[in-house]
Chain A
Amino acid sequence: MIGFTLSKEQILQRQLFREFAEQEIKPIASQMDEEEKFSMVLLKKLQKYGMMGIPYDKKYGGAGSDILTYALCIEELSKIDGSTGVTVSVHTSLCCSCINDFANETQKEKYLHPLVESSKTGCFGLTEPGAGTDASGQKTTAVLDGDFYLLNGQKVFTTNSGFADIFIIFALTNPSKGTRGISAFIVERGTPGMEVSKDIPRMGIRAASNAEIALIDARVHKDNLIGTEGLGYKIAMSALAGGRIGIGAQAVGIAQGAIDEAVKYVKERKQFGKRISQFQNTQFKLAELQTKVDAARLMVWRAAVTKDNHENFAVAAAMCKYYASEVANDVTRACVQLLGGYGYTREYPVERMHRDAKITEIYEGTSEAMKMIISGSMKIN
């Protein structure tokens, strides 16, 4: 990115994402939401066209592209379906990044390669029933027993867990050390002692898989420890910082998708003898909404480019996630209003977009947690 212009390569990438989302996701988005089930056929297609490993090195089978392109992908997918956006985002920013940034070569070859080359799917298990925003309240433990760690505990709200092959699980190897006692493990699906529950019914992003994980003496080989013991909290925070760019992009996508639907509708809908697009109230409202979305998009792009430039991006990522998620909620609510009664029905996708938007203010760090990061950087107290 130079100035505020995408490169020709990024424009062509966006064309791919747009065509793919229009043709492959749009026809099934509403059905996936109703059935609360992510299409495994769609997952295979996302893998086939390289959308599950965009910012990772070709050496591991990735696309060898950048974070900004990845953000463009999440936005375009989320314009049509927020569930697809978060599925790709959690796999890419949370699971793959832990391995890419912190694992050794053997682990990368064994686990990152199939994840980004697109034969396997990943998830990220940090949150616990008693440890949400306060991730330091972890209760899951990992005790070394010969060559294996025995993991015990419970994880909740684990996106992709219903079908993921590879889980990044955080557990305390030294409870007395607090956050410095947390370690990160690569756990394969089917590991004895790890059970994945059914998906938790939710308000939005209903097609995305999101389940509980129970660990009862789950045996994980010590070769699957990422980095060293005690590095887990740092790994988790690093992954989440990057993940916020993905969620910011998802929020921008949901909002833009709602505006696109509203624009289409107001051009057709007639009331008081006119198309409602002819009323200045409609025009001004849409102008306000588009301005907010453009501002949010620029913040996402700034955070992405900062990360691509290997600069400290944590605050920019927190800001883009905080702002874009609030914008997504404001914009989708206004778009339902523009469609009136029809917007409230399931005949039109804006009600789904409105429901999908809410979670962007919550997961991968609530708006309040984002404000902690932003204000912390301002050296206020």
Chain B
Amino acid sequence: MRIVVCIKQVPDTTEVRLDPKTNTLIRDGVPSIINPDDKAGIEAALLLKEKVEGSMVMVVCMGPPQADIALREALAMGCDDAILLTDKAFGGSDTWATASIIASALKKLEFDVIITGRQAIDGDTAQVGPQIAEHLGIPQVSYAEKIEVKEDKLVIWRQFEDRYHIIKVGMPCLITALSELAKPRYMSTGGIVDAYHTKKVRTWSYEDVRNTLDTANMGLKGSPTRVTKSFTKEAKGTGVVLKDITEDEAVAAMMAKLKEKHII
């Protein structure tokens, strides 16, 4: 099985602080990490590789040259091959342009399964994975919390709020992974040595994907998203929690509260 995992390097948002005066993010000194859902995707891919003999895992990342370290980390975890999509022309891409560029690279590769994370912790759009599938014209299953191999198909547990769907899908297909899908393994010291000395990160620029990519779909100019305004959410109070009451009592309590605030 040929598995491709698409990853993003993101600022570790648990380390990001707000400047109390300007209400903007302080990005200085914030470490960059592999997006957590994507890392779970890497682990899921490595588990599939261990299950299906003769498999290989390739990892693809679009980003600045510094994203090399994210790919080395994936190689050190056990991925076999890595491609860094980097070009100034790709800068400023929104989810549409990003998915177009990544899909243009994937069109040049052989694959049975593509795994992406559900969403990135810096943008939280959850759009790039599904958009890649649309660009490639392959089936997609999002919010995967479990993947099994059944003969030549995959069976995927797709998470819903109060249940999950069990979906059987043919290959090639694209899966978006939840963090719950798999707890990522650590790198190993020997794996890191291999990641820098025996394995390679191939760098692809616009030139390498030009015949599969429409320039109208890349970079800032190819991005239909426009940010009109950004603002900091005001913190709300903790609210009132009513415990150990019946449904009728809950309804009565809510009605009383709404009336008290003159909402109804």
Contacts and interface: CB of A to CB of B under 8 A. Distances in A.
What interface size band does chain B fall in? 10 to 19
Contacts of B24: none
Interface stretch (A49-57, A133-141, A196-204): A49-57
Interface string A41-81: 00000001111011000100011110001000100000000
Contact of B188 (A11, A50, A69): A50
A16 interface: yes
Interface in B156-203: 186-193, 195-197
Contacts of A9: 72, 192-193, 195-196
B115 interface: no
Contacts of A8: 68-69, 72, 196
Nearest to A117: B190
User: DSSP class of A's interface residues: helix, strand, loop or mixed?
Assistant: helix
B38 interface: no
User: DSSP class of B's interface residues: helix, strand, loop or mixed?
Assistant: helix
Given A8-B196, A9-B196, A12-B76, A50 B189 contact: yes
A64 B193 contact: yes
A49 B186 contact: yes
B187 A16 contact: yes
Nearest to B72: A12
A19 interface: yes
Contacts of A64: 190, 193, 197
Interface in A254-299: none
Among B187, B189, B196, find the residue whose CB has the most chain A CB atoms closer than 10 A: B189
Contacts of A30: none
What interface size band does chain A fall in? 20 to 34
A11 B69 contact: yes
Among B188, B191, B193, B197, find the residue whose CB has the most chain A CB atoms closer than 10 A: B193
A39 interface: no
A16 B186 contact: yes
Contacts of B69: 8, 11-12
A179 interface: no
A49 B192 CA distance: 10
Contacts of B188: 16, 48-50, 63
Contacts of B197: 64
B73 interface: yes
A12 B186 contact: no
B73 A12 contact: yes
A62 B193 CA distance: 11
Contact of B191 (A19, A50, A53, A62): A50
Interface of A: 8-9, 11-13, 15-16, 19-20, 48-51, 53-54, 58, 62-65, 69, 73
24 contacts: A8-B68, A8-B69, A8-B196, A9-B72, A9-B192, A9-B193, A12-B72, A12-B73, A12-B76, A12-B187, A12-B192, A12-B196, A16-B76, A16-B187, A16-B188, A19-B186, A20-B186, A50-B188, A50-B190, A53-B189, A63-B192, A64-B190, A65-B189, A65-B193
The 8 lowest CB-CB distance pairs between A and B, nearest first, are A50-B189, A63-B189, A63-B190, A50-B188, A9-B196, A50-B190, A49-B188, A16-B187
